[in-house]
Structure 1
């Protein structure tokens, strides 16, 4: 009996030391006051994760639930449409793609014969059948968006547009998307003691899943930290930086950015429209104060192998006190246009309380 008690004490002591080491390794963030706002949101919704990163350096200024943000890969949904748009632009000649060409969206994408769903696809996707028994993938609007070009499709987050564009050459599109965006690789972060998931190799998947990758579906999984790194490289038009925290560390390149400045600038101009007229148009952006929202994107990712359940995402770029940041919000049960957007609005208000003070003083 005494031996059992002794071993329990040893194990508990070891766990205590490990836990204490973890606490010491995580820095004290200047935005730690955001914890209370996220906890309040979670009490009415579901588990959430947040990462705030300075874009010019890769320094993580705030993380909520690092065990999710750093260490978990999750379905990103429509956040991938930004990567797909840049892939289509870069390889437009090989893919036979034109950003000006309009595609009619009636709310449904019918897979062609070369994309016939496999047994695995039927378990992965929600594929309703029409009145003729034909299977299709839904758009974000049930009745469709009408005619869409690349700009309007990205602002309004049209599934049909991207699925149609990727379906012409599924193998080529998917290989370029996967390789250029390093979707199987970690961010090479320096966020001890947290460990990122291991890198994965290019895997063979069905043609339909390759096409569905254009909208972040079909089993594509990314961490919130990876999303932050990739979007930072888009908005700042620079290399992908290794995320870090704490003092005494310098910015470190993780990978070069394979996309041209002209395409990146065009995409950021499109993303700047999302909070104004797109899926983030109801975002409560501070009208006064030191914070300026530069752009954003929402995403609703289907839980892998749980085709009727979704995760919610919102990623935002903003400027405050002459520094540029990317804010990534993940909500375990929800959508990007509702729960994740709501939490992002709450956090923006807390990040720049001066905007609220200005509103009160002006009588608004």
Structure 2
């Protein structure tokens, strides 16, 4: 056996060791009963990951596949539209943006002359051509959403609205999106022994990819844990907290929230409409149970450099036993409106059923 073979064996052994060590590091969660539900879902779909976090403290009460949730960065798709909305509101004067202004969505966004697709764009983005051979970015609805303002575009998850709104100054928009949401930074978590991806610097990318970043495309990569942290800061209207799971640990601020309470409250109110009339309207929500749904968002992210394959995401906020939670669901092969939403509904039902049974046993 030559040295190269020995080297490969040593590397494989190290990977197995580190994985085994990490797999045993997560504590025993009170929500570990959800494991079986996720495993059954995976058997019929694809690899998935779940994070359940307390919004007010950053305490992780449940995590499934932390090797994905903590240690991998993935394209978040339309989940970024919420970040884009807050960025547009904060810098509306500099971006010449008005949340009331209507954008007509006919299902296609044609890049402006200053954002002509580069060779890299054609390899990265799904850019079909129309009957005249001109590239465009698609919306979720082939025939379009019609007239959209910021509220309706968030609820219905309209690509064309956000692409159009940021296209006047993609450089300014992208720099503020990247900076304010710390998209290159980790959550500064305390989830031993899992390691988060290293911080990255501001990326120099094409103008079209900066436009596409408004809908979570073009190369943006975030971990499920990072998504949980950022969405928690929206519903909390407070600082971003360092995720932890140790019983003896206390909440720690990771960084301040750069957005105003007024804008955060407005966006949270819009997210509360998504399970009622938006992309989560078919989500099963337990009636008269112990859960109060506060809002949510779906996302379908294009796999980086695999422009015909997608990941599915769903993020939900709910109240249970006077605590606020954020539930982040990731499905490797799927969409937010189908597979990820389906798994989220399964988990909500399991949590609600368990809560009801506990209340009955305690005589409440």
**Normalising by structure 1, what TM-score?**
0.93
Change (3 A) 1:16 1:356: same
Matched position secondary structure for 1:309: strand
Pairing 1:136-215 to 2, within 5 Å after superposition: 136-215=136-215
Distance (Å, rounded) in 1 between the aligned partners of 2:68 and 2:102:
39
Q: CA deviation at 1:24?
A: 5.0
Contact 1:288 1:355 in 2 (8 A): no
Look up the SS of the partner of 2:93 in the other structure: helix
SS in structure 1 opposite 2:306?
coil
How large is the RMSD of aligned CA atoms in angstroms?
2.0
Deviations 1:41-88 (A, max 9, x none): 000000000000000000000000000000000000000000000000
Range with greater deviation from structure 2 (224-233 or 23-32) = 23-32
Distance 1:76-1:23 versus aligned 2 partners, 3 A rule: closer
C-alpha displacement at 1:23, in angstroms?
5.0
**Which residue is 2:342 aligned to?**
342
Give the CA deviation at 1:16: 8.8
Alpha-carbon distance, 1:126 to partner: 1.1
**What residue is the counterpart of 2:273 in the other structure?**
273
> 1:114, 1:313 → 2: CA distance?
32
How much has 1:25 moved relative to structure 2? 2.9
Distance in 2 separating the partners of 1:30 and 1:160: 42
Task: Give the corresponding residue for 2:6.
Answer: none
DSSP 3-state at the match of 1:310: strand
Kindly provide the CA deviation profile for residues 201-244 of structure 1, in whole angstroms up to 9, marking residues without a partner as x: 00110000000000000000000000000000000100000000
Structure 1 residue 323, shift from structure 2 partner: 0.1
1:69 matches 2:69: yes
Check if 1:94 corresponds to 2:59.
no
Matches of 1:24 and 1:329, distance apart in 2: 22
Alpha-carbon separation, structure 2, partners of 1:248 and 1:270: 36
- After TM superposition, give the deviation of residue 93 of structure 1 in Å: 0.2
- The 5-angstrom pairing of residues 1-364 of structure 1 reads 21-22=21-22, 24-353=24-353
TM-score by length of 2: 0.93
Query: For 1:11 and 1:304, how far apart are their aligned partners in 2?
Result: 26
Contact in 1 for aligned 2:51/2:225 (Cα 8 Å)? yes
Summarize the Cα distance change of 1:15–1:272 in structure 2 as closer, same or farther, 3 Å threshold. Answer: closer
Instruction: Work out the number of aligned pairs and report it.
Output: 350
Structure 2 distance, partners of 1:19, 1:338, is 30
Unpaired stretches in structure 2, ≥5 consecutive residues: 2-9, 359-364
